[in-house]
Amino acid sequence: MPFNNGKPYHGSQAVEGGRLKGRTGRTDYFFFLCPICNDGQIMRILEYEFRPVTRFVERSEKKTPKEPFNLAFHLYCPICQLEDFVKIDNDHRADKIGEGL
């Protein structure tokens, strides 16, 4: 089954602008927290997709990624039923959040 049934997707305003937060729990697993419930409710990752990397910026950092990646996650909150999308890659600048990121 293709990611999101092959339909286009993009994160909504519910997750953009710093509204989607996450953290580790007792171990090293990382959890996305529902921005609607906003009470620490963990979102289920329904599916994920490796996305093609079309460009990769060389940076003058002491260490650089060995391989570019871009992952999309389809998130779901079992309490409020929010479904949304978020992406993670290793190409964005590693600056302070909010400075253009």
- List residues near Zn ion by CB under 5 A: 34, 36-37, 77, 79-80, 82
Write down the least CB distance from residue 67 to Zn ion, Å. Answer: 34
Nearer to Zn ion, 42 or 72 (CB): 42
Is residue 7 left, alpha or beta, with left meaning phi > 0 and alpha meaning psi from -120 to 50? Answer: beta
- The residue type of 22 is G
Strands 21-24 and 83-89: unpaired
Of 12 and 90, CB closest to Zn ion: 12
Taking the complex as a whole, the smallest distance from the CB of residue 64 to Zn ion amounts, in Å, to 37
Query: What is the C-alpha to C-alpha distance for residues 86 and 96, in angstroms, rounded to an integer?
Result: 19
> Residue 15 or 82: which CB sits closer to Zn ion?
82
* Closest among 59, 8, 12, 67 to 35, alpha carbons compared: 12
Residue 33 CB, nearest distance to Zn ion (Å)? 9
